[in-house]
Structure 1
Amino acid sequence: MSDERDEQAYAGTAEGQGPVRIDEELARHLANKREELFEEFEIRDGFPSEVRREAEERTTDIQAEITEELDEDYRTDHRDLTACTIDPADAQDFDDAISIEKEEDGRYHLWVHIADVTHYVHPGSTMWQEAVERGSTVYLPGYTVHMLPPVLAETACSLVPNEDRLAHTVEMLIDPETLSYEEIDIYKSVIHSDERLTYSEAERRLDEPDADLHDELSLAFELAESLHEQRKDDGSLVLNPKRDRAHTIIEECMLKANKAVTHELQWVRGLEAMFRVHPQPSPDEWDKALQEIQELDGVSIPADSWDDPRKAVNATLEQAPGRQLNKIQWAVMKVMPRAKYMNDPFGGHHALNFEIYGHFTSPIRRLSDLVNHWIIYQNETPEDHDLAALCDHASDRQKDAETAERLYKQFLQEIGLDPHAVNNRGLEVIEEPDEGQDLDREATEVDPEALD
């Protein structure tokens, strides 16, 4: 189980297909359902005029501001580094980009570049206050409610390709044998992303030796695969054993960067911050889950893995019939407490098996990351903020966002729409279909009672 990019889980691709087509009546039903969920969970869809105005004023000349930052030597110029983003096909904001090289002595040199949101959004500003209120971006299939105004989330802060962008870089030298950090440096930078890749595009590049970025992606996967295997050996829970190479690259690089920042915050600077804590189930709860798994048809938990339930689940998932994977995952999820934000990191992250952990790599879409960026940059917590209360608020808002997403997906299924298809392909509303023109089949088999 990973705590990184959970909100944007991506199941398969349908990039070669067009949008899912629906008629106007069904589009109205979807809009009504969204409004119902927004009201129930107090999700703010549109932005107040003063927030939009502040965002527009703060981003009047992005390039001139970047040039000034470089001229004043406020930032490290990393525009010469080869960098790329890898995200779902429907992603609208690009928080992170990676660069990687291998030193002559075999060490991995990894840069994780994160959108520098705090350059534009400061405590005390209306944009900051609005971000605190929202807590996170809400991702519904085919519809996004940003934490930040779109001009920031999709343009000024987003690490779009072929444009200079302000970033917060986590630079790491990693030992090839132990995979431990030999050096960590965190600083402000300017980057120039070479390409925006979807997961399936990254997979294709890995398969084509002559493709652009093939060497960089291959090196990134070499490191990521080693990190992934080490995590499993150490007892990190991995509920998706079939994850492809592109997902593995991003997951492991983001985890490594988040761990580096958490190390800096706690052990080097001793700062209070928003840490990610995941309590462990009780022994009885773990026993209940393992017993349920053991009783599944065709499933057997390896005898040498029972001492650590996480390793037992990992080993079982790798050997279990495909038809039982969802049941194994669900048996585990039922006993897992929710991860939460806390200003005290101790207690650790049980699922990842990390002593301490925190979020840093998604400041466009998560309040915790935005706050941690400010703390790293200013070397102190934001004034007039009760960090413990802020952690509770962020945890509650994340839970609300995830619940709204689950209920919306459930509604789509009830009316005959495939949430994954909508997520990956988007929606197209057909005003007046031509005679003989078919809408997508899954969009026409509507249960009338589901629309009440």
Structure 2
Amino acid sequence: MSKKRKKKTEKPQQKSSNVKRIKDQVRGVFAHHIGERFSYRQLIKELGLRDKKSKESLKDILFGMESKGQLAKAPDGRFISAYEPETIEGRVDHVNARFAYIISDQSEDDIWVKTDDLKFAIDKDIVKVQITKPGNDGFRPEGKVVELVSRAKEEFVGRIELSPKFAFVVPDSRNIHFDVFVYPEKIMKAKHNDKVMVKITRWHDAKNRSPMGEVTAVLGAAGENEAEIHSIMAEFGLPFKFPESIEDAAAKIPTEISAEDLKDRRDFRNITTFTVDPEDAKDFDDALSIEKLDNGDYEIGIHIADVSHYVTPKSALEKEAVQRATSVYLVDRTIPMLPEKLSNGLCSLRPNEDKLTFSASFVMDTEGKVKKKWFGRTIIHSNRRFTYEDAQIGIETGEGDYAAELQLLNSIAHKLRDKRFKNGAVNFETTEVKFQLDEKGKPLAVVPKVRKDAHKMIEEFMLLANREVATYIYKWGKGENGKYTFVYRTHDNPDPEKLENFSKFAAKFGHKMNVSGDISQSLNKLMDEITGKPEQNVLEQLAIRSMAKAKYTTEPKGHFGLAFDHYTHFTSPIRRYPDVMVHRLLWHYLQGGKSVEVEPEEKKCVHSSEREKNAADAERASIKYKQVEFMQSMLGEDFEGIVSGVTEWGIFVEIVETKCEGMVRLADLDDDFYEFDEKNYRIIGKRNKRIITLGDKLMVKVVKTDIDRRTIDLDLVQED
């Protein structure tokens, strides 16, 4: 006797889950097709529904959404979204060819957008994006671009590839995912594989079609130092030279110091004074003076080049300095904020010359306690120019010019430093590298920069001056609103979530960090523990990434990293425009001036912060270029590395020996299929369950270097 097959019944929770899934799909369809109408049958096809129950559920969902006002019926009977979609303005971060993120102050999370939904916006463009799917369960919100607000740039640097009837320019930037089509008559005199600047003349609105452009400058043969550095300068909008009018304006400034120039200046020319700078420094914008007083205390002066005396408001030099906002230090050159006559001449505190300065002077005891302070314009005469190496010898041996003064200043600097850390300053001693270059700019070696007492001594007195100037204006200024408008350098407290993630990564190396207690103390303890260990550089970089970014602002907030209630930049006006602003404002208030208007100062603060970031990005790009060039000679060699970053398309590995970073692409890992665990910054093998995460030690082989994209490709070396 045959048994009747029992009818399979759907469990209530399965039915509920199925209905929810279809409802989410319906919402997704209408979110992605704003303003479009769909009939019941069209939606069945769009959602790929096959069984009768799903189709019935769809019908109930549609009528339910209509009754709640979420959908409306058009005159032709089709459904249309009844909601006005949410739009957010933000900046495109086009991370790879398939998708981008939109970064916006209006959204806590970055918004994920497919490249096809970018409306032909590219990296750094400002767009309006429509949220099509809210974020949840650790997933970012999704959206699509509905309006291109503004283009970030229309000129790009790249390598030109010539054919008989046309040419293409392949942009250097890894965030630009298209080539630019150029007709032969628009290439100027470029040769195949030259680096060029190309300007977009027509943006195509069809998929898979390149924009059209014309070459505006030929930078030289790809791979050559001048061409590559000029490419970086062009990419970041850095000037190649000063306009002739600016050089002329600088040339007209008198070199002699007149009696009028000395008016209202305190004379420090008879006080022992010297500068301490890097060996290759061309401008010296700060000097120290020291004088023993009758009561046993010391008056220590921090003297800064008086740039504001020469660069006056509304002048051509002022406008150029505002625009540049900062000097930029690439691996083989400096792009100065001021013309050479000022930066290396009039404003450089060269030895055995009278120089106009702006000074912060402090009466201190040998324990570093400040008993009196004075700020104002001065004139100095430097007795000696020390390199850091020279000063270090004097500190260590007690021999040579002004060795006693150097040792005393170093002793006081140690007391100031100890007090700063006791008050909660964070000790970020990041490892920086520099290149030994030959006469053609080719890197011969990567050398870590070593910071000794001479460096830290100068740093400590500069920090003292910056802090005391900011505190003076904040505490004693009595403007119309209860405070003077001033320029501060602020640094917010770290984001708790980022700090928590960082502590988890540090734990992988066996380092514990308490994020619920004294954060500064925990960070300093960790920094001490990792000093000299292989993971030092990776953890230092990650710690810095978990911190907020320092910025210029008129808001008198504190500086977390330095543990100062108030801080500014007073000590480098030759290379930073905000320091010029600080000098002007300080002098204005010392002369009894009223509080200035906030908005113009804040606008210049924002601009200076942006230019500072751009300069840092350009400097990193030049370092990356030299790293790639340096590693070209090491193809096929094996190195020990540490995982410094994890993304969905690969893992970044920092080679311990050279401090150069490369990528192992997931597509090249042939022992398994690896999935990206974004939340935990790791990849996991689907079959073998192997986990590779931030901080892991790996053996890697250098397999490819790409100068154009400034990338190093690595392979994992399979170990027994």
**Structure 2 length normalisation: TM-score?**
0.51
1:340: Cα distance to partner? 0.6
The question of whether the paired residues in 2 share the 8 Å contact of 1:103 and 1:109 is answered with yes
The yes-or-no answer on 1:314 pairing with 2:524 is: yes
> Using the alignment, how far apart are the partners of 1:210 and 1:401 within structure 2?
40
> Using the alignment, how far apart are the partners of 1:385 and 1:134 within structure 2?
20
Q: CA RMSD in A?
A: 2.7
Q: Which residue of 2 aligns with 1:111?
A: 301
From 621, 640, 646, the equivalent of 1:407 is 621
The question of whether the paired residues in 1 share the 8 Å contact of 2:299 and 2:364 is answered with yes
The yes-or-no answer on 1:353 pairing with 2:353 is: no
1:321: Cα distance to partner? 5.1
SS at match of 1:416: helix
From 343, 346, 351, the equivalent of 2:554 is 343
Summarize deviations over 1:348-383 as a string: whole Å, max 9, x none: 111111111111000000010011111112225778
The yes-or-no answer on 1:54 pairing with 2:249 is: yes
The question of whether the paired residues in 1 share the 8 Å contact of 2:503 and 2:512 is answered with no
1:186: Cα distance to partner? 0.8
> Using the alignment, how far apart are the partners of 1:376 and 1:322 within structure 2?
42
The question of whether the paired residues in 2 share the 8 Å contact of 1:99 and 1:112 is answered with yes
1:206-225 alignment to 2 at 5 Å? 206-225=395-414
The question of whether the paired residues in 2 share the 8 Å contact of 1:123 and 1:382 is answered with no
Alpha carbons of structure 1 residues 449 and 330: separation in structure 2 relative to 1, 3 Å: closer
From 581, 584, 588, the equivalent of 1:371 is 581
The question of whether the paired residues in 2 share the 8 Å contact of 1:157 and 1:165 is answered with yes
> Using the alignment, how far apart are the partners of 2:403 and 2:549 within structure 1?
38
> Using the alignment, how far apart are the partners of 1:149 and 1:55 within structure 2?
7
Q: Which residue of 2 aligns with 1:22?
A: none
1:253-402 alignment to 2 at 5 Å? 253-269=461-477, 270-297=483-510, 299-301=511-513, 307-320=517-530, 322-323=532-533, 324-346=535-557, 348-379=558-589, 386-402=600-616
From 59, 69, 72, the equivalent of 2:261 is 69
Summarize deviations over 1:182-224 as a string: whole Å, max 9, x none: 2111111111111121111110111232311101110110110
From 273, 280, 295, the equivalent of 1:83 is 273
1:448: Cα distance to partner? 7.3
> Using the alignment, how far apart are the partners of 1:273 and 1:384 within structure 2?
8
> Using the alignment, how far apart are the partners of 2:223 and 2:247 within structure 1?
26
1:14-33 alignment to 2 at 5 Å? 29-33=224-228
Alpha carbons of structure 1 residues 206 and 387: separation in structure 2 relative to 1, 3 Å: same
> Using the alignment, how far apart are the partners of 1:349 and 1:285 within structure 2?
18
1:48: Cα distance to partner? 1.1
Alpha carbons of structure 1 residues 300 and 102: separation in structure 2 relative to 1, 3 Å: farther
Summarize deviations over 1:228-274 as a string: whole Å, max 9, x none: 01111111011119841101111110000011111222211232121
Higher helix share: 1
1:180: Cα distance to partner? 4.3
1:179-194 alignment to 2 at 5 Å? 179-194=368-383
Amino acid corresponding to residue 359 of structure 1 in structure 2:
H
From 361, 369, 390, the equivalent of 1:171 is 361
How many aligned residue pairs are there?
Answer: 392
Q: Which residue of 1 aligns with 2:341?
A: 151
1:339: Cα distance to partner? 0.6
The question of whether the paired residues in 2 share the 8 Å contact of 1:286 and 1:309 is answered with no
> Using the alignment, how far apart are the partners of 2:369 and 2:276 within structure 1?
24
SS at match of 2:373: strand
The question of whether the paired residues in 2 share the 8 Å contact of 1:199 and 1:247 is answered with yes
The question of whether the paired residues in 2 share the 8 Å contact of 1:278 and 1:350 is answered with yes
Identity of aligned residues (%): 32
The question of whether the paired residues in 2 share the 8 Å contact of 1:101 and 1:216 is answered with no
Amino acid corresponding to residue 409 of structure 1 in structure 2:
I
The question of whether the paired residues in 2 share the 8 Å contact of 1:97 and 1:113 is answered with yes
Q: Which residue of 1 aligns with 2:63?
A: none
SS at match of 2:469: helix
The question of whether the paired residues in 1 share the 8 Å contact of 2:631 and 2:705 is answered with no
> Using the alignment, how far apart are the partners of 1:327 and 1:365 within structure 2?
29
The question of whether the paired residues in 2 share the 8 Å contact of 1:101 and 1:219 is answered with no
> Using the alignment, how far apart are the partners of 1:330 and 1:375 within structure 2?
35
From 383, 390, 406, the equivalent of 1:201 is 390
SS at match of 1:190: strand
Alpha carbons of structure 1 residues 396 and 230: separation in structure 2 relative to 1, 3 Å: same
Amino acid corresponding to residue 283 of structure 2 in structure 1:
D
List gaps (5 residues or longer) in structure 2: 1-219, 431-449, 478-482, 633-703, 710-720
> Using the alignment, how far apart are the partners of 2:598 and 2:527 within structure 1?
47
1:104: Cα distance to partner? 4.8
The question of whether the paired residues in 2 share the 8 Å contact of 1:293 and 1:331 is answered with no
Alpha carbons of structure 1 residues 176 and 290: separation in structure 2 relative to 1, 3 Å: farther
Summarize deviations over 1:395-449 as a string: whole Å, max 9, x none: 000000000000101001111189xxxxxxxxxxxxxxxxxxxxxxxxxxxx874
1:144: Cα distance to partner? 0.6
Alpha carbons of structure 1 residues 150 and 321: separation in structure 2 relative to 1, 3 Å: closer
Amino acid corresponding to residue 454 of structure 2 in structure 1:
A
> Using the alignment, how far apart are the partners of 2:539 and 2:303 within structure 1?
35
The question of whether the paired residues in 1 share the 8 Å contact of 2:223 and 2:707 is answered with no
The yes-or-no answer on 1:247 pairing with 2:440 is: no
1:300: Cα distance to partner? 4.9
Q: Which residue of 2 aligns with 1:440?
A: none
The question of whether the paired residues in 1 share the 8 Å contact of 2:491 and 2:548 is answered with yes
From 28, 31, 36, the equivalent of 2:231 is 36
Alpha carbons of structure 1 residues 295 and 105: separation in structure 2 relative to 1, 3 Å: farther
Summarize deviations over 1:287-310 as a string: whole Å, max 9, x none: 22223223215x455x7x972222
**Structure number with bigger Rg:** 2
> Using the alignment, how far apart are the partners of 2:456 and 2:706 within structure 1?
41
The question of whether the paired residues in 2 share the 8 Å contact of 1:258 and 1:361 is answered with yes
SS at match of 2:261: helix
Amino acid corresponding to residue 340 of structure 2 in structure 1:
P
Deviates more, 1:145-154 or 1:320-329: 320-329
> Using the alignment, how far apart are the partners of 2:403 and 2:221 within structure 1?
43
The question of whether the paired residues in 1 share the 8 Å contact of 2:275 and 2:385 is answered with yes
Alpha carbons of structure 1 residues 357 and 321: separation in structure 2 relative to 1, 3 Å: closer
1:102: Cα distance to partner? 4.2
1:113-128 alignment to 2 at 5 Å? 113-128=303-318
List gaps (5 residues or longer) in structure 1: 1-24, 419-446
Alpha carbons of structure 1 residues 148 and 292: separation in structure 2 relative to 1, 3 Å: same
Amino acid corresponding to residue 334 of structure 1 in structure 2:
R
Q: Which residue of 2 aligns with 1:20?
A: none
The question of whether the paired residues in 1 share the 8 Å contact of 2:246 and 2:317 is answered with yes
Deviates more, 1:265-274 or 1:47-56: 265-274
